[in-house]
């Protein structure tokens, strides 16, 4: 066991405090708008905190550290793209300004406004599928992190996963977005302190000169130049630009923060300032991975071309190298603060994702189907109840998937591909709906289905390279929208909206 008594006390105090504050959020929830978009009363600073906390989790630290361990400094290009694209979206208001003006609660809701109810349901199904598969590996990876750093026996991984899930489920189900925003604020502060602390410790222990030398020795120029790195290259970089434009505008958990802000102007500022956080969100954990490579990357070269991390005579996978390094370099007390910070990161992401994907199931699949069946509108209380049931369903699926699914490659790329399942089509449809008059329902269906097929078939069945798969999905979705719209005639909903 790596944890001292003081570490356990810090972690327990954080968990109790976070749960209590989260449950208090329930008193502010009066209707479904409060539950899903915090009554659209989110200000700039709380908005930055909740958006950043939603997209910074232990899973983020783990996959970026693994990416840094495997690709060296060249991986920083992916982090730079994520932050810079976010700043561009914030400054220009691309999509998000219009989304906020429309007072939406979910991204697929836009598809009913611009296209048709049927396309909203299809999009809802794809968004839920991609989103839940994406979240499906969170618990396992987070559980791995916590067991390695704290020294809990790996046999207790399932118990650790269950406890994390139950805690975040309790306050998300009770207080919805209000509870999530409150806890996100606390969690953001804690995870930021942990991020900065770990970065200082990692660089101090590995030494900046040693870090540079190790990458140069193991990877040569490819460890620095993203264009010649075999894991990246031009195709990867272009795909990342497309993907991050799509994520920052159409990713449900990000979009929910935009929908929750007080005004379109505040939504743009939230996006711009969070973009600066995103630069560090990627580069700092990548640096931890490179530091782990420097300190422990002395084992035999694996099938992926990276040396195994040797810790206490054991050969570890690149994914496990960073948490193993933290267990070695952090002292008592600091380890507790860092783990509490990582737990904060975990809970903020998972609670937001639970709320995001369950809102899609209830608002974009079940409620439209209910209306199509000729039933009257569901009361606000009924909608909140439906959301809570969907929350529990998503939690159970995530637990199941995390236990039984074996990752075929790097975590970062798995997450990118599962996101692409719906993002390729959704991004193309939203761009088309907002900026191209001829975009219509036929084109919308073709874009969503071809984009999803372009991600699922090559990755899960043909086992193609992730870069080509991601690129193909966006290309197919664009072709689907263009040719489908040209072949499909005029769309009444789109014509009215224009």
Partner 1 sequence: MRGTMYLWQIFWTAAVLIAGLAFAFVTVVVTLKGGRDLREMFARLLEQKKRQDD
- Where does this chain bind partner 1 (CB under 8 A)? 28-31, 34, 38-39, 41-49, 52, 73, 76, 79-80, 83, 178, 181-182, 185, 188-189, 192, 195-196, 199, 208, 212, 216, 220-221, 224-225, 273-274, 276-277, 279-284, 287
CB of 187 to partner 1, least distance (A): 12
Pure H helices in 55-156 = 58-71, 76-92, 96-101, 107-114, 117-135, 138-150
Q: Which of 165, 183, 208, 185 is nearest to 45 (CA)?
A: 185
66 vs 364, beta carbon nearer partner 1: 66
CB of 264 to partner 1, least distance (A): 17
d(C-alpha 127, C-alpha 58), whole Å: 23
CB of 46 to partner 1, least distance (A): 4
Taking each helix axis as running N to C, give the angle between helix 380-404 and helix 334-360, from 0 to 180 degrees, rounded to the nearest 10.
Answer: 120
d(C-alpha 172, C-alpha 184), whole Å: 11
CB of 67 to partner 1, least distance (A): 14
Phi-psi region for residue 165, left (φ > 0), alpha (ψ -120 to 50) or beta?
alpha
CB of 472 to partner 1, least distance (A): 29
Q: How far is CA 148 from CA 20, 151, 152, 215, 315, in A?
A: 27, 5, 7, 25, 14
203 vs 452, beta carbon nearer partner 1: 203
CB atoms within 10 A of CB 390: 23
Secondary structure, 3-state, 199-228: HHHHHHHHCHHHHHHHHHHHHHHHHCCCCC
3-state secondary structure of 117: helix
115 vs 185, beta carbon nearer partner 1: 185
How much of the chain is in helix, strand and coil states, percent to nearest 5? 80, 0, 15
**If you ran DSSP here, which 8-state letter would residue 307 be given?**
B
280 vs 425, beta carbon nearer partner 1: 280
CB of 285 to partner 1, least distance (A): 11
213 and 60 in contact (C-beta within 8 Å)? no
Q: Within 13 A of 76's CA, how many CA atoms are on the CB side?
A: 14
429 and 95 in contact (C-beta within 8 Å)? no
CB of 105 to partner 1, least distance (A): 15
178 vs 386, beta carbon nearer partner 1: 178
Q: Which of 412, 202, 220 is nearest to 323 (CA)?
A: 202
87 vs 329, beta carbon nearer partner 1: 87
Q: How far is CA 291 from CA 49, 150, 157, in A?
A: 28, 20, 26
CB of 279 to partner 1, least distance (A): 4
CB of 177 to partner 1, least distance (A): 10
193 vs 434, beta carbon nearer partner 1: 193
176 and 387 in contact (C-beta within 8 Å)? yes
- Token pair of 97, please? 């300004």
43 vs 151, beta carbon nearer partner 1: 43
- Token pair of 177, please? 């977005």
CB of 155 to partner 1, least distance (A): 36
52 vs 146, beta carbon nearer partner 1: 52
CB of 262 to partner 1, least distance (A): 9
CB of 76 to partner 1, least distance (A): 5
29 vs 452, beta carbon nearer partner 1: 29
Report the run of H or E that residue 310 belongs to, with start and end.
Answer: strand 309-311
83 vs 444, beta carbon nearer partner 1: 83
216 vs 434, beta carbon nearer partner 1: 216
Q: Within 13 A of 450's CA, how many CA atoms are on the CB side?
A: 22
CB atoms within 10 A of CB 32: 22
């Amino acid at each position: 066991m790596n944890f001292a008594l003081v570490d356990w006390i810090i972690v327990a105090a954080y968990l109790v405090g976070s749960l209590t504050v989260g449950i208090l959020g329930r008193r502010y929830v009066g209707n479904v708008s409060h539950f899903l978009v915090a009554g659209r009363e989110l200000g700039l600073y709380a908005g930055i905190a909740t958006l950043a906390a939603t997209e910074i989790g232990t899973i983020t630290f783990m996959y970026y550290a693994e990416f840094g361990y495997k690709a060296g400094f060249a991986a920083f290009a992916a982090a730079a793209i994520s932050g810079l694209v976010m700043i561009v979206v914030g400054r220009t208001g691309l999509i998000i300004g219009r989304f906020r003006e429309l007072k939406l609660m979910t991204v697929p809701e836009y598809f009913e406004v611009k296209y048709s109810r049927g396309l909203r349901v299809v999009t809802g199904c794809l968004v839920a599928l991609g989103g839940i598969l994406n979240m499906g590996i969170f618990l396992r990876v987070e559980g791995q992190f916590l067991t390695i750093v704290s020294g809990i026996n790996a046999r207790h991984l399932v118990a650790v996963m269950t406890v994390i899930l139950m805690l975040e489920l309790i306050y998300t189900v009770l207080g919805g977005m209000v509870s999530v925003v409150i806890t996100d604020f606390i969690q953001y502060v804690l995870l930021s302190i942990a991020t900065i602390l770990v970065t200082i410790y990692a660089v101090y222990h590995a030494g900046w000169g040693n870090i540079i030398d190790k990458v140069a020795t193991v990877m040569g120029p490819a460890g620095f130049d993203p264009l010649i790195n075999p894991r990246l290259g031009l195709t990867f970089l272009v795909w990342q630009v497309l993907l991050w434009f799509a994520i920052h505008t159409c990713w449900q958990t990000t979009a929910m923060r935009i929908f929750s802000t007080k005004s379109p102007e505040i939504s743009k500022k939230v996006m711009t300032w969070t973009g600066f956080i995103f630069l560090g969100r990627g580069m700092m954990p990548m640096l931890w991975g490179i530091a782990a490579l420097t300190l422990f990357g002395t084992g035999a070269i694996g099938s992926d071309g990276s040396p195994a991390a040797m810790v206490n005579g054991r050969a570890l996978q690149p994914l496990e190298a960073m948490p193993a390094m933290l267990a070695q370099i952090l002292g008592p007390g600091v380890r507790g603060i860092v783990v509490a910070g990582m737990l904060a990161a975990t809970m903020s992401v998972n609670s937001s994702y639970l709320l995001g994907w369950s809102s899609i199931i209830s608002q974009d699949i079940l409620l439209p189907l209910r209306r199509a069946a000729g039933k009257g509108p569901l009361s606000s209380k009924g909608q909140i109840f439906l959301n809570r049931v969907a929350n529990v369903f998503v939690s159970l699926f995530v637990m199941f998937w995390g236990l039984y699914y074996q990752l075929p490659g790097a975590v970062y790329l798995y997450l990118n591909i599962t996101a692409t399942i719906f993002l390729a089509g959704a991004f193309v449809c939203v761009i088309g709906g907002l900026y191209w008059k001829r975009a219509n329902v036929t084109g919308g269906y073709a874009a969503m289905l071809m984009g999803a097929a372009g991600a699922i078939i090559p990755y899960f069945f043909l086992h193609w390279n992730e870069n080509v798969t991601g690129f193909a999905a966006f290309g197919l979705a664009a072709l689907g929208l263009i040719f489908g719209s040209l072949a499909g005639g005029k769309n009444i909903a789109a014509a009215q909206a224009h």
